[in-house]
Amino acid sequence: MRKVLTIAGKELRSYFVSPMGYVVLGFLLGVGGLIFALTYTAPQMEADPTYIIRVMVFLILLMSPVITMGLLAQEWASGSIELLMTNPVRDVELILGKYLAAVTLLVIALAASLEFPLILEKFGDPDWMVVLTGYIGVLLAGMSFLAIGLFASSLTSNQIASGLLGFVMLLFFWLIGWLGYNISSKIGEVAKYISVFENIQDFSKGIIDLRPVVFFLSLIAFFLMLSVRTVENRRTA
């Protein structure tokens, strides 16, 4: 555990000595704030936090590959992976450490974005239950995005390539749900089941259902496991 925390601490630190951490926070609060302002200043708009949740999920989907793209790709590109992997660190500890750093940055960003419901509170009467379940949903979805992004970063030594790859994979899980509305067969059903968009719906209505929770946790475990396997395989290449 100490090793995981050491690696996570190192990565988290480098998010904030480089512009990366600030860019992520700035994007989320800046663009998020703009959309928030435009949405809630519309005539007859209610203080319904559902929109905040939907916007946050989408923005975090956009930012996740940026957060994760360098985590492993950079190590391979600079050669620093050699010193890291010749230390007595298990591959799974390496992956968990990197992942924990990314998740911590996400949590910081989400905490900062609580300003949006707080502003709503000042002008209206938002349902804080929806805010709570919504944020749990956003956190779970965001953690899945980061696991997918980390896997993309484990595949290549090129940061840009890993970022784009992560983005493409995330778009797949986002857009696949549309198929569910267009096709009514079993394939359509499956498409809805694996769509991130479909799985976030309940959370943004104040409901915590076990099914989407299991879905996101499985997604996280699956892609973290794939990342560990990729690192193991690249070692033998």
Partner 1 sequence: MIRCEGLTKYYGNHQAIADVNFEVDEGEIVGFLGPNAAGKTTTMRILTSFIPPTAGEAAVAGFDVIDQSLQSRRAIGYLPETSSLYQDMRVTQYLRFCGGVRSMSRADVEERMEYVLDTCGLSERADSIIGTLSLGFRQRVGLAQALLHDPPVLILDEPTVGLDPNQIIEVRNLIKSLGGQHTVMLSTHILPEAQMTCERVIIINHGRIIAEDTPEALTAQIREAETILITLARDDENVSRQLLDLPDVVGVRSVGDGSYHVDTAVGTDVRAEIAEFAVSRGWGLLELRPVEMTLEDVFRQLTTEEEGVE
List, in order, residues 6 or more apart from 141 with CB less than 8 Å away. 57, 60, 61, 196, 199, 200, 216
- Rounded to a whole number of angstroms, the minimum distance from the CB of residue 166 to partner 1 is 22
Q: Encode burial over 197-211: b for 16+ CB neighbours within 10 A, e otherwise.
A: bbbbbbbbebeeeee
Most distant CA pair in the chain: distance in Å?
62
Q: How far is the CB of 84 from partner 1 (least distance, A)?
A: 8
**In whole angstroms, how close is the CB of 88 to partner 1 at the nearest point?**
4
DSSP state, 49? T
Nearer to partner 1, 90 or 189 (CB): 90
Site residues (vs partner 1, CB under 8 A): 2-3, 5-7, 9-10, 13-14, 17-18, 78-80, 82-90, 235-236
Q: What's the angle, vertex CA 157, arms to CA 153 and CA 162, rounded to 5?
A: 35
Task: Name the residue nearer to partner 1 (CB basis): 6 or 39.
Answer: 6
Q: Among residues 66 and 89, whose Cβ is nearest to partner 1?
A: 89
| Residue 17 CB, nearest approach to partner 1 (Å) | 5
Closest CA to 179 of 190, 166, 167: 190
**3-class state of residue 67 by DSSP:** helix
Which residue lies nearer to partner 1 by CB, 36 or 76? Answer: 76
